[in-house]
Structure 1
Amino acid sequence: MTDRTPTEVVHLAEGPLRGTTDGEIRRFVGIPYAAPPVGDLRWRPPQPPERWTEPRDAVEYGPVCAQDTSCFPGFGHHSETEDCLYLNVYAPEDAGEPLPVMVWIPGGGFFLGGGGDYDPSAIVRDGNVVLVTFNYRVNVFGFFSHPAINAEGHANGNYGLMDQTYALQWVRRNIAAFGGDPDNVTIFGESAGAASVLAQMASPAAEGLFHKAISQSCSVAAVMPMATVESVAEVGVALATAAGCTDQTPENLRALTTKELLAANRMPDGEFGVGRFHLGPVVDGEVLPAPIGELFRSGRFHQVPFINGTNKDEFTWFQAMVELNTGMLIEDAAYPHLIGPLFEVASASQLLGTTVPPEAVPEILERYPLEKFENAARAAAAAVGDCGVITAGGRRTTRTVRRFVPRVYAYEFDVPDSPVAWPSVSFSYGSAHVQEVQFLFPGFAGGGGTRHELSGPQRVLAGHMVRYWTNFARYGDPNGEGGDAPYWPVYDAEADAVLSLTAPEPAVTSTFSATHHCDFWDGFYE
């Protein structure tokens, strides 16, 4: 490991801070951006952290938020602590003039994940920007609706989203101390982090806190149905009952241990899902005044320059997690008979954002014939993934945002031999969900997976991607002031072209919609 020495003290609104430097990158990690949401602060909006007067050493990551990793081999970190609202700042040693700021919102299905698993070196060093990552409450602690809690008179339901906004407010107050420009902030994230980007774009509370946005592999805006905080309150009652709470007063609910709540929401052995009870962002009237899709379609969102993209084989990752958790393999002979039930399950679990009727099955089989795929699992993953909220849904989101925003850029990540951090299954992962993250954050392996190095051509693509992302943060245009990367055009709905992120050189393509049968799947959505 490179030797690191203490930095000079920086002065924040909350108190003085000292990090470490290796001569290229200054690192300040484990900074409290809110008070620990424990005791009476559980299921309340974030509150200011305690101030300090003596220089605080920001040299160790704060603990990740309470989470259960049993359903996602290699992803996240098992944690039973709710004292977790910490962030990390990485800045070039010599910032010079105020630098663009990039704020990464980690993914994990709103169920797990944290901000300490992302190597900042490529983005900070090669992109010359200030990078911020952070934790936010997940699982039952981040997204919980219950009649007794909701009656307390504070914003409720979307505690994890409130944490994200609070972290952005911290950035607004403090980032200049690290050489960052508070008037040039880009939020970006993958999976639930991407859904969070869109939620922040739709949230009135985040107005003025960021100026550009990048969504990687989870464009829920145009397609995902959303419950109201009131409509899911009974889910909270059921979860609290499963945790052993019978007299469900606010005091008794907050007296439940972290371990009891995690256990109550854990999936039974041999089943797959992020939790026994469905939890996630809801329409609460304050953080999200209406469903995200409705806000986007009516133009009621922060209309900032936008990059949106997906991976070519998104759903193979989810199919792999199902296989790893259940041990169930899809036999080739069963494929024609399985598609209908598979779409029923996907519809019920909100993976699609719509319902695909049984009469559509023959055409689905015609468009996704078994002989075109490695095996039945890959064929099924292609069909469900294309229909769902990520792939074809990503195109719908791109086209929706483009109606209001002049600078929108679309991509597809297509590196089928990219390194895989997760356990092997009966099919290849290909360009699966999460696979692109390691091209921005070197060696990313989900927190508990196996780290791998990129090949030579893949490293060339990674360099292009870092430049695209950081140019966009600097200029609002991924092309910046020119360079050796292929030109990335603004998305145009008529041309329907996207940048294919292939190794070693990206290329513009107009085949995305046909490859993923987007027009066909669009017919099942409003």
Structure 2
Amino acid sequence: MVEDSGTTAVVSTTDGPVRGTCADGVRRFLGVPYAMPPTGDRRWRPPVAPVPWTEVRDATSFGAVCAQDSTGLPGFGHFSETEDCLYLNVFTPDRQDREQVLPVMVWFPGGGLYCGGSTGYEPHSLVVDGSVVVVSVNYRLNVFGFFSHPAINSEGHPAGNYGIMDQQLALRWVRRNIAQFGGDPGNVTIFGESAGAISVLAHIASPGSAELFHRAILQSCGPTALMATPSIESLAHVGEGLAAAAGCAAQTPDGLRALTTRELLDADAMAEQILGVGKYHIGLVADGSVIPERMSELFSTGRFNRVPVINGVNRNEFTWFQAMMELHTGHVISADEYPHAVAAALAALAQVPVLGTTVPDDALPEILDRYPCAAYPSPASAVAAIVGDCGLISAGGRRTTRVIAEFVPEVYFYEWDVPDSPVSWPEVSFPYGSGHTQELQYLFRGFHGGGGTPRELTKPQQRLARHMVAFWTGFARCGEPDAGIAGGPIWAPYEHGADNAMILTTPESGMVNSFGQRHHSDFWDALTRRAAATTA
């Protein structure tokens, strides 16, 4: 029942009653608190349920996103100076029949675990056309969500991965409450893109997430399942350095929690923003509890939550990152600079050991021969292809698929490839192509991130968007992505020998074999083995 004013009927949750809005066939309950504000003494502690309320709460506007100062990062960045950010949003079809329970899809937004938030993701197509309930979640980010410091780590509570703990509490909220919104707590699919997909993979790895979800979709996740994942102890010095930079002389728990939000943001801020990262390492840690061991160990030995998975990448993932760097520096790579730019990129990747992208020192001529500059729209495009293929998102997605498929038969792999898609980000000297974040507008109507400009899809692209919505919601409904498209392409599970993937493209999507050939995967795997033998 919907009231004439456009508001919904009151829905009772275990924390208190809420009332949302209804428009365009969607009932929206926005800014619902699922935890106490993680402020004051609750900073850097596991989240706890909110104080119950009895008066009807108007759930009509989004809650604040986690503190961040990333408005210069198109795609994800927002500005916020509040740590009071633990809110979720529920979107459900406005339909007469409220008896049938619907599949539930829980969305974790991306942003490098550093910035971003749930605002800007309009799930109208998923909800109305796919007939599912969508929940989107804010969680703690950057220094507030992922922080290791010996004084905090020794307090006797789970530490380090606070953002993942937030997400777990949100999933428990879903299990308790989603039936009141027409959703099935026994049929929950978690999905996310970029850092949101890394979060999904963390839940696949985490014992604390077992039975909180039943399927998972990873968009542009990369090689996270292969990551060494630093231990919480190995990054404790990072927390000490950040605290000192913030002016904390007595690095006690009280002293650390007395730091203001702004002091912590300023201490971590780069002189000039580059790709929305800070001075200090922020990310997942093997904390012994939430993530009990290194991700690489958990996945290679099959000690993870074995659920059906869709995992996929975009054809030109790294062009987005390359574009952000060009926008930041204003420098356009020339053809003469191409060899040096490739060498510099590979050297930079070698400094991030968790990515597993080290190549032999003498491999540069082979790489340049494999990726001739003239074969690409620009030198920057060629550099982006190399970085994407050598072990980051594109090739890393295939490797992650192979690792999971060793233990889970229902793993579906895709590559999204629509190079003429509209671009919401500023122009650069080369085409974005099928870059990072570009597929989001096909699932979330009008997506343009935290700082972009919305664009319209063409008719063929709209048709692909409908198919993608059907694939995603069909998988959420019964575990088979092609179940949502009558007479459409058959999406077969991944097989190691066939190396098969669904290519999501226009005018027609379809399966291909030998996917690794699209990204020279055997070439890069051989270089990686050669490098390992050299250092052994």
* One of 376, 380, 386 as aligned partner of 2:379: 376
Partner of 2:28 in structure 1?
Answer: 27
- Provide closer, same or farther for how the CA distance between residues 4 and 461 of structure 1 changes in structure 2, counting only shifts above 3 A: farther
- Per the alignment, in what secondary structure is the counterpart of residue 480 of structure 1? helix
Deviations 1:250-291 (A, max 9, x none): 111111111111111111227556111111010000000011
- Per the alignment, in what secondary structure is the counterpart of residue 471 of structure 1? helix
**Residue 55 of structure 1: how far off its partner (Å):** 1.4
TM-score, normalised to structure 2's length? 0.95
Tell me if 1:283 matches 2:255. Answer: no
Partner of 2:8 in structure 1?
Answer: 7
| Residue pairs, 1:325-364, within 5 angstroms | 325-349=328-352, 352-364=355-367
- Per the alignment, in what secondary structure is the counterpart of residue 88 of structure 1? strand
Give the Cα–Cα distance (whole angstroms) in 2 for the partners of residues 116 and 272 of structure 1.
Answer: 20
**Residue 511 of structure 1: how far off its partner (Å):** 4.7
Deviations 1:384-428 (A, max 9, x none): 111123111111111111111111111000000111111111111
Moved more, 356-365 or 227-236: 356-365
Partner of 1:58 in structure 2?
Answer: 59
Moved more, 350-359 or 73-82: 350-359
* One of 407, 413, 416 as aligned partner of 1:413: 416
**Residue 127 of structure 1: how far off its partner (Å):** 0.2
**Residue 485 of structure 1: how far off its partner (Å):** 2.5
4+ aligned runs moved over 6 Å, structure 1:
none
Partner of 1:464 in structure 2?
Answer: 467
- Provide closer, same or farther for how the CA distance between residues 251 and 287 of structure 1 changes in structure 2, counting only shifts above 3 A: same
Alignment gaps of 5+ in structure 1? none
* One of 275, 299, 307 as aligned partner of 1:304: 307
| Residue pairs, 1:139-218, within 5 angstroms | 139-218=142-221
Tell me if 1:115 matches 2:147. Answer: no
- Per the alignment, in what secondary structure is the counterpart of residue 420 of structure 2? coil
Report the residue type matching 2:449 in the other structure.
G
TM-score, normalised to structure 1's length? 0.97
**Residue 357 of structure 1: how far off its partner (Å):** 2.5
**Residue 6 of structure 1: how far off its partner (Å):** 1.3
8 Å contact from structure 1 (residues 21, 93) kept in 2: yes
8 Å contact from structure 2 (residues 222, 396) kept in 1: yes
Moved more, 226-235 or 327-336: 327-336
Moved more, 246-255 or 123-132: 246-255
Tell me if 1:138 matches 2:141. Answer: yes
Give the Cα–Cα distance (whole angstroms) in 2 for the partners of residues 476 and 384 of structure 1.
Answer: 33
8 Å contact from structure 1 (residues 459, 504) kept in 2: no
Give the Cα–Cα distance (whole angstroms) in 1 for the partners of residues 115 and 201 of structure 2.
Answer: 19
Partner of 1:440 in structure 2?
Answer: 443
Partner of 1:47 in structure 2?
Answer: 48
Give the Cα–Cα distance (whole angstroms) in 2 for the partners of residues 322 and 200 of structure 1.
Answer: 31
Give the Cα–Cα distance (whole angstroms) in 2 for the partners of residues 161 and 41 of structure 1.
Answer: 16
**Residue 22 of structure 1: how far off its partner (Å):** 2.0
- Per the alignment, in what secondary structure is the counterpart of residue 127 of structure 1? coil
Tell me if 1:68 matches 2:57. Answer: no
- Per the alignment, in what secondary structure is the counterpart of residue 240 of structure 1? helix
* One of 369, 391, 394 as aligned partner of 1:391: 394
Backbone CA RMSD of aligned residues: 1.5
Kindly tell me the number of residue pairs found equivalent between the two proteins: 524
Give the Cα–Cα distance (whole angstroms) in 2 for the partners of residues 9 and 293 of structure 1.
Answer: 46
Report the residue type matching 1:258 in the other structure.
T
Give the Cα–Cα distance (whole angstroms) in 1 for the partners of residues 30 and 326 of structure 2.
Answer: 36
Give the Cα–Cα distance (whole angstroms) in 1 for the partners of residues 107 and 74 of structure 2.
Answer: 23
**Residue 484 of structure 1: how far off its partner (Å):** 3.8
Report the residue type matching 2:258 in the other structure.
A
Alignment gaps of 5+ in structure 2? none
**Residue 351 of structure 1: how far off its partner (Å):** 7.9
Deviations 1:65-101 (A, max 9, x none): 1012155145321100000100000011124311000
Give the Cα–Cα distance (whole angstroms) in 2 for the partners of residues 217 and 82 of structure 1.
Answer: 27
- Per the alignment, in what secondary structure is the counterpart of residue 479 of structure 1? helix
**Residue 442 of structure 1: how far off its partner (Å):** 0.9
- Provide closer, same or farther for how the CA distance between residues 459 and 72 of structure 1 changes in structure 2, counting only shifts above 3 A: same
Moved more, 240-249 or 350-359: 350-359
Deviations 1:407-465 (A, max 9, x none): 11110000001111111111110000010011000111112211111111100000000
- Provide closer, same or farther for how the CA distance between residues 516 and 159 of structure 1 changes in structure 2, counting only shifts above 3 A: same
**Residue 497 of structure 1: how far off its partner (Å):** 1.3
Report the residue type matching 1:393 in the other structure.
G
Partner of 1:519 in structure 2?
Answer: 522
Give the Cα–Cα distance (whole angstroms) in 2 for the partners of residues 413 and 222 of structure 1.
Answer: 21
Give the Cα–Cα distance (whole angstroms) in 2 for the partners of residues 469 and 74 of structure 1.
Answer: 21
8 Å contact from structure 1 (residues 500, 508) kept in 2: yes
Moved more, 260-269 or 351-360: 351-360
Give the Cα–Cα distance (whole angstroms) in 2 for the partners of residues 87 and 194 of structure 1.
Answer: 17
Give the Cα–Cα distance (whole angstroms) in 2 for the partners of residues 89 and 70 of structure 1.
Answer: 26
8 Å contact from structure 1 (residues 16, 55) kept in 2: yes
8 Å contact from structure 1 (residues 335, 376) kept in 2: yes
Deviations 1:36-63 (A, max 9, x none): 0000000000011010112111111101
Deviations 1:165-198 (A, max 9, x none): 1110110010000000000000000000011110
Give the Cα–Cα distance (whole angstroms) in 2 for the partners of residues 502 and 4 of structure 1.
Answer: 42
Tell me if 1:400 matches 2:376. Answer: no
Deviations 1:354-390 (A, max 9, x none): 3122211111111111111011100000001111231
Report the residue type matching 1:61 in the other structure.
F
Moved more, 400-409 or 302-311: 400-409
* One of 503, 528, 531 as aligned partner of 1:500: 503
Deviations 1:318-371 (A, max 9, x none): 011111112222111111233222201122145843312221111111111111
Give the Cα–Cα distance (whole angstroms) in 2 for the partners of residues 220 and 275 of structure 1.
Answer: 21
* One of 225, 238, 262 as aligned partner of 2:228: 225
| Residue pairs, 1:259-298, within 5 angstroms | 259-269=262-272, 274-298=277-301
Report the residue type matching 1:370 in the other structure.
C
8 Å contact from structure 2 (residues 179, 185) kept in 1: yes
Partner of 1:17 in structure 2?
Answer: 18
Give the Cα–Cα distance (whole angstroms) in 1 for the partners of residues 453 and 477 of structure 2.
Answer: 33
